[in-house]
Amino acid sequence: MEPYEIVAQAVGIVAMLFNVLSYQQKSSKGVIVMQLFGGALFTVSYFMLGAMVGSLLNLLAVLRAVVYSNKEKFRADHKGWIYLFALLFGLSFVLTFTVFGKPFTLGAALLEFLPVFAMLVVTIGFYVNKAAFIRKMALVSCPCWLIYNIFNLAVGAMICDSISLVSAVVGIIRLDIKKVRS
């Protein structure tokens, strides 16, 4: 493994720590802020690994986290944000096959679409603004990212999505199901 690949994987592992811990936050703002830091680091990691849609989507995740963690300032309760982010996620998908030159095949398109779908699901979770709902959306988004990460050999991200999935389930049990039973 080349030194830059080692650095890329190390950055991904640090990003993983932020994302995994995000699901243990009690407030939606806490979840979002932790994911902001994770997204920023994953942007760098994916870029270094040449996984451009992952890099672009995580860059957009940082912007999304800024918007949704400052709800009043950016009027994040407006549905227009969901449409804007959906458009930007779709643009990232298109750029991957045009500007960044990834060859377009059905398999590549399906693989590159998985994180786009995952980002949309999480964006809807942030819009709803309930930590419990965000944790539930992780049950959809984590498997999508995990498949993408396996194919891109993004070790930190693979570990992140595996642990994030478990963390979301633990958070659901610890914070949501127990709360309902109390």
Backbone angles phi and psi of 12, in degrees to 5: -60, -35
Average pLDDT, the chain: 91
- The residue type found at 159 is I
Q: Where are the chain's structural domains?
A: 3-181
Residue 89: closest CA among 62, 116, 112:
116
Report long-range pairs for 22-25 (Cβ below 8 Å, ≥24 apart).
22/164, 23/135, 23/138, 23/164, 23/167, 23/168, 23/170, 23/171, 24/167, 24/170, 24/171, 25/131
Tokens found for residue 182 = 């109390």
179 pLDDT higher than 80: no
- Residue 24: is it exposed, middle or buried by C-beta count within 10 angstroms (0-12/13-18/19+)? middle
pLDDT digits (tens, 9 = 90+) for 29-45: 888 889 899 999 999 99
Q: Would you state the pLDDT for residue 182?
A: 62
The SS3 of residue 78 is coil
pLDDT digits (tens, 9 = 90+) for 72-127: 899 988 999 999 999 999 999 999 999 999 999 999 999 999 999 999 998 998 88
What CA–CA distance (Å, rounded) separates 98 from 123? 25
In this prediction, residue 69 has a pLDDT band, given cuts at 50, 70 and 90, of confident
Radius of gyration of the chain (CA): 16
